[in-house]
Amino acid sequence: GAGVSQTPSNKVTEKGKYVELRCDPISGHTALYWYRQSLGQGPEFLIYFQGTGAADDSGLPNDRFFAVRPEGSVSTLKIQRTERGDSAVYLCASSQGKDEQFFGPGTRLTVL
């Protein structure tokens, strides 16, 4: 079956702009996670959704970052007033309940 998909695969933006990154989880998966991965580092947790609600958003670095999952399926990560330090690969994962997480290919964000 289809895995986790993320769009766009690459996004280049200018400092100060607003961006949205989309994640389509595996159908029926109730849990959805966002991670951020900088060059040479392991993925770092941002936010976790159980259904429509954010169960844990402790990894969001500041209030410029926000994520939604209005219907309990697709999720959008929103970044306001982007900064060069936001450049990274943004990974999305989904799981059925609390089982293993399945990851998408990521969105590579470059802030110029």
Q: By the criterion CB under 8 A, which residues form the site for another protein?
A: 4, 31, 33, 35, 40-45, 48, 50, 55-56, 59, 91, 93, 97-98, 100-106
Q: Which is nearer to another protein, 19 or 43 (CB)?
A: 43
Q: Which is nearer to another protein, 4 or 19 (CB)?
A: 4
Q: Which is nearer to another protein, 12 or 83 (CB)?
A: 12
* CB-neighbour burial class of residue 9 (10 A; exposed 0-12, middle 13-18, buried 19+): exposed
The amino acid at 29: H
In 3D, which of 21, 16, 27 has the Cα closest to residue 6? 21
